[in-house]
Amino acid sequence: MIEVEDLHRHFGGFRAVDGATLRIEPKTITGLIGPNGAGKTTLFNVIAGVLPPTSGRVTMAGEDITGLPPHELFHKGLLRTFQIAHEFHSMTCQENLMMVPGGQTGETLWNTWFGRKRIADEERALRAKADEVLDFLTISHLRDQKAGQVSGGQKKLLELGRTMMVDAKIVFLDEVGAGVNRTLLNTIGDAILRLNKERDYTFVVIEHDMDFIGKISDHVICMAEGKVLAEGSLAEIKANEQVIEAYLGTGLKNKDQLAG
């Protein structure tokens, strides 16, 4: 699905991503772990077109997608979730989902004059789709609530929901579990597993919560100092000497994260 070859992203003289090479197989859930500052978020940002790479190559299903802007990747089905921007807080959860671009008609003058019925039909379809997504995520009760008023975890579910408004193929999630309570974290985990099993979504998930990684991942990649340090099952990763050292080297907090 995705191949990353010798990817670099430097900031001045600092090598945040320093020759990362990895493969993401289709229809898998990959957990991306590593101590703080390992370069995980930077790697995501480069793959998702948010940051240009310093060098290296990213391909998706064999096609070179290196450095493509986010909206082009979006149309190819590659999505990275973003926090719901402040401007959208006063809109309802349903409306937030309906805002996701998806080639709606209605923008051109021609359509405004001649396509009123079509626009109304599309809006109805969009509304129905948003309701289906809310239902899938078990948050139908939040439909008419303002996005700014729901909890942090519910917002994360809504962010995941946005990827379901389009035909996503691969979704990159950066710390979906941060600051989320156990119950909601389980709901998020279940949604990820169901999207994977029922809709063939491929996921790459950055997370410090090892229980969560263990529960959802088929495969785990550990990064440290901008490189891929080890790959395998979570058990293999946790037993890997280099991995333990990398976590130990960056302090007690990181060591505890690994013990999870």
Q: What residues line the site for ligand ATP (CB under 6 A)? A: 11, 14, 16, 34, 36-42
> What does 238 bind: ligand ATP, Mg ion, none (CB cut-off 5 to 8 Å by kind)?
none
- Would you say 44 or 136 has its CB closer to ligand ATP? 44
Please give the backbone phi and psi of residue 86, each rounded to the nearest 5 degrees, phi first: -55, -35
- The least distance separating Mg ion from the CB of residue 108, rounded to whole angstroms, comes to 40
Distance (Å, rounded) from C-alpha 213 to C-alpha 201?
Answer: 17
> What does 42 bind: Mg ion, ligand ATP, none (CB cut-off 5 to 8 Å by kind)?
ligand ATP
- Would you say 137 or 222 has its CB closer to Mg ion? 222
C-alpha distance from residue 102 to each of 24, 82, 105, 221, 235 (Å): 25, 17, 9, 32, 40
> Considering only CA atoms, which of 243, 226, 232 is closest in space to residue 46?
226
* Tokens describing residue 149: 């008023």
How does DSSP classify residue 208?
A: S
Contact between 254 and Mg ion by CB under 5 A: the answer reads no
- The least distance separating ligand ATP from the CB of residue 195, rounded to whole angstroms, comes to 23
- The least distance separating ligand ATP from the CB of residue 131, rounded to whole angstroms, comes to 34
Q: Residue 225 class from Cβ within 10 Å (0-12 exposed, 13-18 middle, 19+ buried)?
A: middle
**# binding residues, Mg ion (CB under 5 A):** 1
Q: Per CB under 5 A, which of residues 9..48 are in contact with Mg ion?
A: 41
* Tokens describing residue 142: 């939040």
- The least distance separating Mg ion from the CB of residue 217, rounded to whole angstroms, comes to 17
> Considering only CA atoms, which of 77, 71, 57, 74 is closest in space to residue 17?
57
* Tokens describing residue 253: 């907090």
- The least distance separating ligand ATP from the CB of residue 129, rounded to whole angstroms, comes to 32
> What does 134 bind: Mg ion, ligand ATP, none (CB cut-off 5 to 8 Å by kind)?
none
